[in-house]
Structure 1
Amino acid sequence: MQEIQNLAACILHYRRSFHESQAMFAERCGLSVEIVSLLERKLANPSLGLLVKISKHLGISVSAMLSFTEGNEKERDIFA
């Protein structure tokens, strides 16, 4: 699914831009390191609740995460 690929790219992009390890990112989102690793490798199918946790940490909407492509990261500024 394209959305899973977009989500993986989004998480990796923002995690790196925040200079966070997977462990740091996981802790700040309230997730396990294992799930962050699976998400970045496109091997997980996350629940809505998990997506909301990540979106709150990133400061972007779930919709922006699922439609993320390199270059559209400015959508972070429109999170409500």
Structure 2
Amino acid sequence: MKQNFTPEDLVAYLYAETSIAQRLTIQDALRRDPVLAQELEQLRMSKRQFPKVKFTAPKRSLQSILNYSRSTALEGQI
């Protein structure tokens, strides 16, 4: 059975955001389909070209997010 994979499936695979079953299925398909393997390689090359940037949120913003999370977590328990 041939399965079609979308670019989103390959991106999820590339970033290790797939389940183990999905990962194994995609790996099998990559071994069998050179066109799919080439698509993944193009995505890998594109990923390498992204700038290496780290973002740090201000402490005040992080604290606001944590406070909001705590307050909404309590709402779910009531």
TM-score in terms of structure 2 length: 0.29
Look at both structures and tell me which one has the larger radius of gyration over its CA atoms: 2
Q: Which structure dedicates a bigger proportion of its chain to helix?
A: 2
Identify the structure with bigger relative contact order (alpha carbons < 8 Å, sequence gap 6+).
1
